[in-house]
Structure 1
Amino acid sequence: MLGAMGFLYGAKKLDLPGAPPRVPLRGYVLALLALVASLLLVLAYWHNAEQREMKTVQAEFTAETDAIAELLRQRLAYFELVARGGVSLFATVDRPSAGQWQGYVDGLNIAARYPDMLGLGFAPYMDRTELQDLQLDMRDAGQGFYVVRPGGVRGRYGPILYLEPRTAANREAIGYDMLTDPARQAAMIAARDTGTMRISGPVRLLQDGSGQGTGVVLYAPIYRFGTPGTMQARRAALQGWIHAPLDVHKFVDIALRTTQRHTALTIRDRGADGNAAPLYADHEELAGADGDSRLDRTMALDLYGRTWELEFRSDARASLAARAPELRTTLGTGVLASLLLFGIALVLARTEALTERKAELLADSYQRSELRFRNAMRFSAIGQALLDRSGVIVDANPALAAIFDTTTDELAGSRFGSHFIDAHDQARNTREFAAVAEGVFRTTRQWRSAAGELRHAQLTYAPVPGEIGQDVASLVQVEDITERVLAHAREQALNRTLEARVALRTRELTHANQELESFAYSVSHDLRAPLRTIEGFSRLLGERYADRVDETGRDYLARVRAAAGRMDDLIDALLKMSRVSRGPLKLEPLDLVPIARDVVAELRAGQPERTVEVDIEPGLHAVGDAALVRNLLQNLIGNAWKFTADTDGARIVVGREADADGLAAFFVRDNGAGFSQEYVGKLFRPFQRLHNPEEFEGNGIGLASVKRIVERHGGTVSAEGQPGGGATFRFTLPREAPAA
């Protein structure tokens, strides 16, 4: 360029005779201006191309993040199905044994199919009495002593009872009370009150010995006799939870292993207080990415009562580097075209500028639309295909190829209907395409997999508007619903099995009641006859042959008669306790104050010489069976009356405590002999006594009857005391009559 300028300057300056004619300066100036303008246009075009590629990278980044979020959601949906399968097992069996639970979990093959799920377990929802009963049952069954940790007395327990597969880490987790952990407790209580599955916030996994792992726990509530309609009923009917601890890092890596990632991912759990706790973070860093070249996006996923905040990051320059050869080719071609069209660059530049601006807008709009559509097909977990007017596949996504066990290249060009078992039903294919022309059309069809398995699919046809003469006429979505169909069939079979079991258990219960009545009749008649014979002959022997029997013999006869009398009392007690468990409940509103006063009046009439201060608080209202509640108060107040016999200033208090879980809470307190708290577990068992018969009479049936009466009303009973310091018995009854 400089040489040409120098040549022009010299020619103008010399202007010698006989020299070649001077080249007009204006022509070179215009040519140089045209060259400069064309080069600037090429540079502008290259810059615009780079910007378009940057927009393409941003669109791909958005599509990839959407796909990642959907894959995480779908992975959690698989775990929900596994947990609900455990809930269904409890619907068929009141409480499966450890062997049954192990068989169920082994059938799921969790270690191979769900390595990010560290186990599948069951945690019962119990009070202290139920926990002690469970511990005694397990010890009596030879399963060792079931230890709950951390220790301490609590109102409710949620310890891990089953956790499979039975690895060393899972065995160590047995007995851990998850209700003591605030994060686990919040999810468990939410699942209990809503009747739906809930996921916890970040917790330290029990299976991680280092204590560095981050995980979450999925909880599915289990209720007795189905899910109640109200929160109070759900709290009362809760049996426990199916829980599944998840390793978040493994969960994310497995969920995203089918996609090629170009973004860095960070997951935070945002609680109700607005604070975010880290759950997952990629180890890779965006080296060299500044604020202009870094792509950021934040999404919120609402998952089972928690909100996961997904933060994505990507280096746009690194993505553009892969497209650098194309950009360099564009730049080189533009410069070459500028040099070749040197003479007409100025005229073409103006035209090209106008055309380029219009083409850029059209190309950008078309590219965005095409990219959105292609990415929607490519990243969709549901099979999709574009069909022409003859039903031939024009294009298909990888999900559809996975469904038919083939590749997208083999699907292209094949007839869509030929992949189903009724491929030769031409009438059906015609009806389907006719329905597509009128709008969205849904139907179901079947096909066989490469292994010969019969599969079910739901098809959704939709017309695709386009340009005249376009080969694409419709879009069809193919969703594999085989598991849904099989689950529905299993549910129906389970319902039939459950109905049969209910009928069988009803017959067994009727038969058991009949046997119980026969047993009671035998006890009241057949067993009493021999006792009367023993007592009568012993008495006659003592009266008629008293002079022939020495003092030792007469003592033996007295012991025989006393033992026969105690046996008769035990038979009476057994009959009374059997009547407590039989007969329908007649629930009605009750005022416990007059009932308690009647009981105290009877006790005072039986022992008028005793002076006992009895304080009965007003307003003791509840719902229950009048006869059974009277029996309940007779036993509790009678116990307090009996064990204050040797106490100066004997005092008995009958009162009410704060209600809880829809139940009215009451207590009976005395300042009598009391008992040692370490033997409280024996109080409510038949024939278990903590005092010698010589001190206080009784047969050990009263408190066992109290426990049965309270449990028949859906309540609980507990006791506490200390030797010489009196005792307090607490029990609960329904506060309101159940809804019809």
Structure 2
Amino acid sequence: MPASVLPQPLSNWRLPALGLVIVAIVVTPFLILRKAADDIDAAWEMVVHTHQTEARVHALAGDMRNMEAGALSLAAGVDNAMLRARVNQSRARILPTLQQLQALTSDNPGQQERIAELQTSILLRKAHADRIIDAEVEDVTAADIDAMVGRYPIHDLIDGIVAEEQQLLATRQARAEHVERRARLATWAAMAGQLLLLGGVLVYSARQIAHRLRAETDAQRASARASVVLDTVREPIVAIDAAQRVVMHNVAFAELYGVQGEARGQPLTTLGDGAWNDERTLRRLADVLARGRELWDHEQLQRTADGIERTMVINARRMPLPDSDDAVVLVTVSDISVQKASDRQIRELNRQLQGKIEQVSDVNRELEAFSYSVSHDLRAPLRHIAGFGDKLGRHLGDDIDDKSRHYIDVMVSSAKRMSTLIDDLLVYSRLGRSALRLQTVDMQSLVAETRAMLDANNATEAPDHRIEWRIAPLPVVVGDENMLRQVWLNLLGNAVKYSRGSEPARIEIGYGRDDDDAHHFQVRDNGAGFDMQYAGKLFGVFQRLHAASEFPGTGIGLASVRRVLTRHGGRAWAESEPGQGATFHFTLPAAGDQPASNESKP
């Protein structure tokens, strides 16, 4: 009986999840407060940035005023070293200050435009101021002073820039205060979140304890159910450890090998009176556990508890134990003794059948050789009979009486008819002996060629016989072109011959696909037809349903059709009513189902 399955420990993902929750309780508030502090710092940095911009604008305005005041003083004749030093300092600070303003307002396109306009005006005023400062007193004119002071105003631009920065300052101060309030709320929210997370951890721990208790109970019940299922299985099952001692087994195993009581811990070789004491089997079972290999369909003869020697199929694979880190080998055993006996009987029947087939093949080959030999040996005597009959008629001339003329005509016509029968028999024999030469065959072209030949013969033999042809589109198939030409020649030739009493004759050639995707051809005429009770004779050698005086022929054409189609893997049949015409059907397999070109002869 299987050991009880212990409940699983805490799921692998739950313990890391609990650790993550604890980390979240500690780290999340810190991150929230850190984010709030960063937001406050960023907001106040923007306020300081606004103050810096405004200070640079005022400094620029002050430097311009100092430089222009010094230029006016120099133009008025006041010139000393202190004045010159102050003017030069202001002149040196103007361009760096403009660059600082451009850098400070790089994030504000509107201020950039104002700074650019201010820069243009300042540089132009500075150029006039520089000329006044560097010129002699007597060279300075009122126009120069007027151009410096009044032509390029900058105070409105400076006021606009300062006003924009004041507006930005108000907005940024409000945002900084809002961020500071939000940071205080985040602090309280973080504390509340910590309390909630701690409460959740406590609730989860309580539920986990209750779940573990339920899991232990369920595991015990599942173990009991598994034991019942295992004992219900009628296939013998046993699990062995690395020392090949029994860990568990089911009732079927105990019944088959005569195990009495509990076999847990016993060596496998001691069970079943040595049924498992096979070195090769034990080595392969050891490889399953040691090397992770699987054992599939290993056959072994074992003598079981009932004393019968059975052929057993052993399958084994490695199986981890749910209650420990060890693994065992799970072995299943199947009795295939009956199957083995059936296989031996089938092989014997196949051997006998193969012998019968060889006998039939030998008979067929002998019959074909006999037919071929007889046909060839008869041709010369028949030629002699027909030839000498004609000579005899010519030799007697007009002196021959009617009865003698009749005898000679019957003799010659019979010899010629027999010669025709031999020719057809040779064709029939050749169709069975020659190898198939498979290739793609355009049935449309093959039918067109056959029709042209039959139309030519009909124009010579029965010029009054009119034929209406209806030919459906036909496919390209895989087969022996010469043999398939013989099929169409026989079927269409019969349609022309047996429809000579119907004017006009209508011959239809149709095509379709069967349920198994085979090519299905039909040849339909409105000729004499036949009685369906004799349909089984149609495709036999020398079988005819009409008198030779009514319709000439040898009775081999349809037999040749069946032989060709059989060698191609197809079949032929016919449907008809007397006086209502006939429909001949034949099938050819799809390209992928064609027989090999070197198949055995039928």
**Match for residue 372 of structure 2?**
520
Give the Cα–Cα distance (whole angstroms) in 2 for the partners of residues 600 and 427 of structure 1: 73
For residue 225 of structure 2, what is the amino acid of its counterpart? R
- The residue aligned with 1:703 is 558
Once residues 538 and 659 of structure 1 are traced to their aligned partners in structure 2, the CA distance between those partners, rounded to angstroms, is 54
Say if 2:334 is the partner of 1:481. Answer: yes
> Which secondary structure state, in structure 2, belongs to the residue aligned with residue 695 of structure 1?
coil
Q: TM-score when scaled to structure 2?
A: 0.51
Number of the residue aligned with 1:604: 455
- The residue matched to 1:555 in structure 2 has which SS? helix
Tell me whether 1:379 sits opposite 2:232 in the alignment: yes
Preserved contact between residue 238 and residue 248 of structure 2 (Cα < 8 Å): yes
Q: 1:401 to 1:589 in 2, by over 3 A?
A: same
State the distance in 2 between where 1:435 and 1:600 align.
72
Does residue 650 of the first structure (1) align with residue 501 of the second (2)? Answer: no
Report how far residue 703 of structure 1 moved.
Answer: 1.7
Partners of 1:546 and 1:431 lie apart in 2 by 100
Q: 1:370 aligns with which of 201, 220, 223?
A: 223
Question: How far apart in 1 are the matches of 2:567 and 2:290?
Answer: 64
Residue 261 (structure 2) aligns with: 409
- 2:406 corresponds to 1:555: yes
Q: Given the alignment, which residue of 444, 469, 474 partners 1:593?
A: 444
**What are the within-5 Å matches in structure 2 for residues 105-124 of structure 1?**
none
User: How do residues 59-458 of structure 1 correspond to structure 2 at under 5 angstroms?
Assistant: 361=214, 364-365=217-218, 367-385=220-238, 396-404=249-257, 406=258, 408-409=260-261, 411=263, 415-419=267-271, 421=274, 436=289, 447-449=302-304, 450-456=306-312, 457-458=314-315
Q: CA deviation at 1:399?
A: 0.7
Judge conservation of contact 2:284–2:295 (CA < 8 Å) in 1.
no
**CA 1:372–1:684 in 2, change beyond 3 Å: closer, same or farther?**
same
The residue that corresponds to 2:129 in the other structure is none
Aligned to 1:723: 578
Per-residue CA deviation, residues 153-193 of structure 1 (Å, 9 max, x unaligned), is xxxxxxxxxxxxxxxxxxxxxxxxxxxxxxxxxxxxxxxxx
Q: Indicate whether 1:615 and 2:469 are aligned.
A: yes
Q: How far apart, CA to CA, are the structure 2 residues paired with 1:581 and 1:537?
A: 34
Q: Distance in 1 between matches of 2:279 and 2:501?
A: 98
In 2, Cα distance between equivalents of 1:427 and 1:701: 65
Structure number, greater radius of gyration: 2
8 Å CA contact retained: 1:677, 1:722: yes
SS state at 2:575 partner:
strand
Describe the shift of the 1:636–1:441 C-alpha distance in structure 2 as closer, same or farther (beyond 3 A): closer
2:388 is the alignment partner of 1:532: no
Distance 2:397 2:336 in 1: 87
Match of 1:174 in 2: none
Inter-partner Cα distance in structure 2 for 1:481 and 1:576:
58
Q: CA deviation at 1:518?
A: 6.2
Q: Following the alignment from structure 1 to structure 2, what is the Cα–Cα distance between the partners of residues 589 and 433?
A: 58
Q: What is the identity, as a one-letter code, of the residue corresponding to 2:436?
A: L
Task: Confirm or deny: 8 A CA contact 1:437 1:463 kept in the other structure.
Answer: no
Separation in structure 2 between the aligned mates of residue 434 and residue 555 of structure 1, nearest angstrom: 96
Residues 604 and 615 of structure 1: is their aligned pair in 2 closer, same or farther, counting only changes over 3 Å?
closer
| Whole-angstrom CA distance in 1 between matches of 2:525 and 2:278 | 85
Q: Distance in 2 between matches of 1:441 and 1:631?
A: 59
* Deviations, residues 90-144 of structure 1 (Å, cap 9, x unaligned): xxxxxxxxxxxxxxxxxxxxxxxxxxxxxxxxxxxxxxxxxxxxxxxxxxxxxxx
Contact 2:371 2:429 in 1 (8 A): no
Q: 1:383 to 1:534 in 2, by over 3 A?
A: same
**1:697, distance to aligned residue in structure 2 (A):** 0.9
Gaps of 5+ in 2: 1-209, 597-602
Task: Give the secondary-structure state (helix, strand or coil) at the position aligned to 1:651.
Answer: strand
Please say if 1:672 is aligned against 2:527: yes
Q: Which amino acid aligns with 1:630?
A: R
The residue number in structure 1 matching 2:422 is 571
Residue aligning to 2:112: none
Q: Which residue of 2 aligns with 1:116?
A: none
Higher-helix-fraction structure: 2
Distance 1:720 1:388 in 2: 73
CA contact 1:464–1:474 (8 Å) conserved in 2: yes
Distance change (3 Å), C-alpha of 1:614 and 1:580? farther
Taking a change above 3 Å as real, the CA distance of residues 602 and 452 of structure 1, as seen in their structure-2 partners, is closer
Higher RCO structure, 1 or 2 (CA under 8 Å, sep 6+) = 2
Tell me: CA distance 1:488–1:440, structure 2 relative to 1, closer, same or farther (3 Å).
Answer: farther
For 1:592, the aligned partner's letter is M
Q: Which amino acid aligns with 1:417?
A: T
Note if contact 1:440-1:463 (Cα within 8 Å) is conserved in structure 2: no
Q: Is residue 479 of structure 2 the alignment partner of residue 628 of structure 1?
A: no
Amino acid across the alignment from 2:422:
I
Unaligned segments of structure 1, at least 5 residues: 1-356
Cα distance change, pair 452–704 in 1 and its aligned pair in 2 (3 A):
closer
Per-residue deviation, residues 256-277 of structure 1 (Å, max 9, x unmatched):
xxxxxxxxxxxxxxxxxxxxxx
1:637 paired to 2:492: yes
In the alignment, is the contact (CA less than 8 A) between 1:689 and 1:700 conserved in 2? yes
Using the alignment, how far apart are the partners of 1:709 and 1:427 within structure 2?
56
Aligned-pair identity in percent equals 31
2: distance between equivalents of 1:659 and 1:358? 64
Contact 1:664 1:734 in 2 (8 A): yes
Distance 2:249 2:399 in 1: 112
Secondary structure of the residue aligned to 1:631 is helix
**In structure 1, C-alpha distance between the alignment counterparts of 2:397 and 2:545, rounded to whole Å:** 37
Q: Is the 8 A contact 1:596 1:616 kept in 2?
A: no
The alpha-carbon distance between structure 1 residues 577 and 385, as it changes in their structure 2 partners (threshold 3 A), is closer
Equivalent residue letter for 2:588 = L
Aligned-partner SS, 1:700: coil
Q: Residues 617-650 of structure 1, C-alpha deviation per residue, up to 9 Å, x if partnerless?
A: 3522231322122212211221122122232322
Contact 1:673–1:726 at 8 Å: present in 2 too? yes
Q: Per-residue CA shift, 1:288-312, capped at 9, x if unaligned? A: xxxxxxxxxxxxxxxxxxxxxxxxx
Letter of the 1:661 partner, please give it: D
Structure richer in strand, relative to its length: 1
What is the CA-CA distance between 1:575 and the residue it aligns to? 0.8
Q: CA deviation at 1:465?
A: 6.0
Q: Please report how far the alpha carbon of residue 574 of structure 1 lies from its aligned counterpart in structure 2 after TM superposition.
A: 0.5
Q: CA deviation at 1:482?
A: 4.2
Contact 1:617 1:656 in 2 (8 A): no
- After TM superposition, the score normalised by the length of structure 1 is 0.43
